[in-house]
Amino acid sequence: MTVSEIIKKHGNERENLLAILHQIQAGNDDNSLHKDQLQQLAEIMDIPVADIVSTASFYTMFSLKPRGKHIIRLCESPPCYIMGEENILTALENCLKIKLGETTADKMFTLETTSCLGACGVAPVMMIDDTVYGELTEEKTVAVIKSIVDKE
């Protein structure tokens, strides 16, 4: 879908900006928002491009930098931290051979942290794309990554 088609679908009002940004990003293979798309959006919606960029920068769900096909968000809020989030982070970094904030060489995964995902009862927790994985151990975490790689 083009930027103008997405705007038409949601409506040209400013309160629809987040939904529009979300759909634009979801349509990009690199899970990010592209500069030319933001400029087009600014023109069509008659909003200064600086406002759109600051909105996109404010929310962690958006990225202005290219990311992997799958976004891993590991919860780092206190309940998950206490339950061993740091060990899960190390397992992810070792398994993916990247550090926090980086994208794998094959552009398959980007590793990020997030605040509470609302699943503290099953801490430690990570979300990959739209799926939440709880009660993580190092072994379970690696198995989740492997199962995603196997499906590709």
**Sites of contact with ligand FES (CB under 6 A):** 75, 77, 79-80, 116-117, 119-120, 123, 125
The residue (of 41 and 119) whose beta carbon lies closer to ligand FES is 119
Q: Nearest distance from residue 133's CB to ligand FES, in Å?
A: 11
Phi, psi of 128 (to 5 degrees): -115, 115
Cβ 38 vs Cβ 53: under 8 Å: yes
Q: Nearest distance from residue 40's CB to ligand FES, in Å?
A: 36
Q: What is the C-alpha to C-alpha distance for residues 97 and 91, in angstroms, rounded to an integer? A: 10
The residue (of 18 and 116) whose beta carbon lies closer to ligand FES is 116
Scanning 1-34, the segments in alpha helix (DSSP H) are: 3-10, 17-26
Q: What is the C-alpha to C-alpha distance for residues 31 and 69, in angstroms, rounded to an integer? A: 6
Q: Nearest distance from residue 12's CB to ligand FES, in Å?
A: 36
The residue (of 48 and 118) whose beta carbon lies closer to ligand FES is 118
Candidates 96, 90, 73, 88; CA nearest to 137 is: 88
The residue (of 21 and 117) whose beta carbon lies closer to ligand FES is 117
Q: Nearest distance from residue 32's CB to ligand FES, in Å?
A: 25
